[in-house]
Structure 1
Amino acid sequence: MAEEGLWYVVHTYSGYENKVAQNLETLVENRRLHDLIQEVKVPTEIVPEIKDGVKREVERKLFPGYVLVKMVMTDDSWYVVRNTRGVTGFVGPSSKPIPLTQAEVDALGVETHEAQVDYKVGDNVEVTAGPLEGFIGLVEEIDMEKQKVKVKVSMFGRETSAELDLSQVKPL
């Protein structure tokens, strides 16, 4: 079983993020380094942009000049990443790479964890987090792609629908 890698932040020349990610993936493929360098990401977001009076959705880099790499840190993996064209170094004090903490990884939304759903539409669930914590609700809809669940709760004598993360509810 291969060792689980940690996420590191790699600094690149501005505008070279996608090229660096592509070069790294090619190197991993060619040198069969899958167990050392497990994932390469350039975090992006979709934002609306108005150009010439036309609104359209564009993909924008969240951290220009940076690439996230999930890897097992060894002399070999460090050397491969450090010497990839366009890479200027790892983020960390005195060129010593420091992995992201699990809290940082979660906050960045780099890894998506598939939530286990052991309830179905029509089941009663308890809300375990957020402003509705402690409420009991009826599952109306489950969206696995967005990792959301729509729950109808009774508040102040009224039925109210709320969209929650799958991790915010548990079956009764």
Structure 2
Amino acid sequence: MEENEVFDEQTPVEENATEVVEDKIADPSKSKDAKWYALHTFSGYENVAKENLETVVTKFGLQNRIFDIIIPMESVVEEKNGKKKLVERKSMPCYIFVKMIYGDDLWHNVTRTRGITGFVGPNGRPLALTEEEVRKNKLEKIKVEANLQIGDKIEVIDGPLEGTIGQVQSVDAENGIATVLVEMFGREAPVDLDYTQMRKIEL
């Protein structure tokens, strides 16, 4: 494949290929048929694969079949030259996740996109992620009720700051996020945390 190619010419789909009947709903991404799948990429090609698949979605008008493409990231503390800093890195190198309504007619569109080697599943066939896997990889925001107010003390229970005590500075209840003032690298700094990453300390 040429270096600047995004997508090979699509092989015609056999006449008896399975057809997907899309739900007649306002937002097809909310359909029960819309599921998350893992795709394997060439090493170091995660961003290229994501961008090229987005191009394929636009080129072939697949916006009602392929809804979201995510490169899993995580925050980690790195130390360099005696200084620590919080950085973002890929949590699962060589993988991207795609939310889509899969059908055999999309096989070539996805697997022949430059940078993608195939679906993750038995014999390379697509296998949708379970709800637990979706939660574990934080592919969709989980609605969590938390009675947080400005000034509340919290403990971070997930992520690189796990075990840190902080104070709530602001609350975004609609998106389930709070800005918390924590001590980090010897000084206080505000960080945005999901409700799922903290617990309120009852005084």
Q: TM-score, normalised by structure 2?
A: 0.58
For the pair 1:54 / 2:83, whether they are aligned, the reply is yes
Q: Deviations over 1:86-127 (max 9, x none)?
A: 11111111121100011111121111134467x785xxxxxx
Partner of 1:41: 70
Secondary structure of residue in 1 paired with 2:85: strand
Partner of 1:89: 118
Secondary structure of residue in 2 paired with 1:26: helix
State the distance in 1 between where 2:104 and 2:131 align.
23
Partner of 2:41: 12
**Equivalent residues in 2 for 1:70-89, closer than 5 Å:** 70-89=99-118
Partner of 1:108: 137
- Displacement of 1:78 in angstroms is 2.1
State the distance in 1 between where 2:199 and 2:103 align.
45
| Greater per-residue strand proportion | 1
- Displacement of 1:75 in angstroms is 2.0
Percent identity, aligned pairs only, is 39
1:47 is aligned with what amino acid? V
1:93 is aligned with what amino acid? P
Alignment partner of 1:30 out of 39, 49, 59: 59
Aligned length: 135
Partner of 1:64: 93
Contact 2:119 2:125 in 1 (8 A): yes
2:60 is aligned with what amino acid? R
Q: Once superposed, what is the RMSD of the aligned Cα atoms?
A: 2.5
Q: Deviations over 1:5-35 (max 9, x none)?
A: 1111100101001110111112212222111
State the distance in 2 between where 1:97 and 1:120 align.
41
- Displacement of 1:142 in angstroms is 4.6
Residues 45-54 or 61-70, more deviating: 45-54
State the distance in 2 between where 1:21 and 1:98 align.
19
Q: From the superposition, tell whether residues 63 and 32 of structure 1 become closer, same or farther in structure 2 (CA, over 3 Å).
A: same
Q: From the superposition, tell whether residues 56 and 92 of structure 1 become closer, same or farther in structure 2 (CA, over 3 Å).
A: same
Contact 1:142 1:150 in 2 (8 A): no
5+ long unaligned stretches in structure 2: 1-24, 150-169, 178-192
- Displacement of 1:56 in angstroms is 2.4
State the distance in 2 between where 1:27 and 1:44 align.
23
Contact 2:135 2:142 in 1 (8 A): no
Q: From the superposition, tell whether residues 57 and 35 of structure 1 become closer, same or farther in structure 2 (CA, over 3 Å).
A: same
